[in-house]
Amino acid sequence: MENQEVMVVYKWVAKEENSEKLKAIYREVENQMESNEPGALKVQCYFDESSSPLVVMDLFADAGAVGFHLGTTAAGHFNNLLQIAVPGEFLFCGEVPEDIKQAVVGMGLNATFAPKVFGFDRG
């Protein structure tokens, strides 16, 4: 399996009155990823004030960087997130090894794993 970037797109929907807490946790997540995860290439967060979903796009250098994130930053915030928000579907775009898939499923996440089949990049 060639090392390739893995993009993870997902959402958390804030429980009532918890939108600001959700955004605050994700500001911490973003800062930790930027400081401590060299394999995390990009983090983008989007928020709809009307219905309270936080949509997140994480871009990782490879599946190893995804595994590192899940075992460090994500693990450190996961229980707090579950207290204030409901996880939506997690889309893992790229090659993800079986052990990482099992870890994600073990976290109780609704996950789809889709290896890249075609596309282009103007960058």
The CATH number of residue 78's host domain is: 3.30.70.100
Looking at the domain assignment, is residue 122 inside a domain?
A: no
10 Å CB burial of residue 85 (0-12, 13-18, 19+) is buried
Residue 91 φ then ψ, to 5°: -105, 115
Average pLDDT over residues 111-120: 93
pLDDT at 121: 84
For residue 90, the enclosing domain spans 6-114
Looking at the domain assignment, is residue 78 inside a domain?
A: yes
Task: Indicate the number of domains in the chain.
Answer: 1
Q: Which residues contact 14 (CB under 8 A, 6 or more apart)?
A: 21, 22, 52, 53, 54, 84, 85
Looking at the domain assignment, is residue 123 inside a domain?
A: no
Q: How far apart are the first and last CA of the chain?
A: 23
Could you give the CA distance from residue 16 to residue 42 in angstroms, rounded to a whole number?
A: 29
Residue-wise pLDDT tens digits, 76-90: 999 999 999 999 999
